[in-house]
Amino acid sequence: MELFMKRAFAFIIDALIVGIPSSIVSLIFLIIRGILSYIPILNILSRFIWVSMIGFVFFLVYEVGCMILFGNTLGKKLVGLRVLGMKKNGEVDLWSVLLRSFVKVASISGPFSFLLIINVLIMILRDEHKSLHDYVSESSVWEI
């Protein structure tokens, strides 16, 4: 349970790191879209799609960038966790980073956000505390 709590805390840190600039950019886009909404061709639905995509892209770039540069996200680094691959050397290769990051971000945003509940249940109920994106990318999270 301690590993689960550390992973949850690391996720909250990462979400704040990404959420604050993403929210600022989203707000700017909303203001611009609001001004442009007086043009009849634009509709309300497109606003929500764009705002959702901004957060998705920010989190994906953050996740992939941190994993490539540091082998970890800042949240995991702060709480003493490390992402390891299932290969002999424990490193996570580029394909696994991309796949892991995409599945993770897709499961917490947009139309697939229901997967977040499934991820939490999988991590709590299974002994290895692996999440859906860990299974897909053949990686795991360990305490340093």
Residues of the chain where predicted confidence (pLDDT) is lower than 50: none
Residue 123 to residue 51: CA distance in whole angstroms? 29
What does the pLDDT look like over 7-29, one tens digit per residue? Answer: 999 999 999 999 898 888 888 87
Whether the model pTM is above 0.95: no
Is residue 33 classed as helix, strand or coil in its secondary structure?
helix
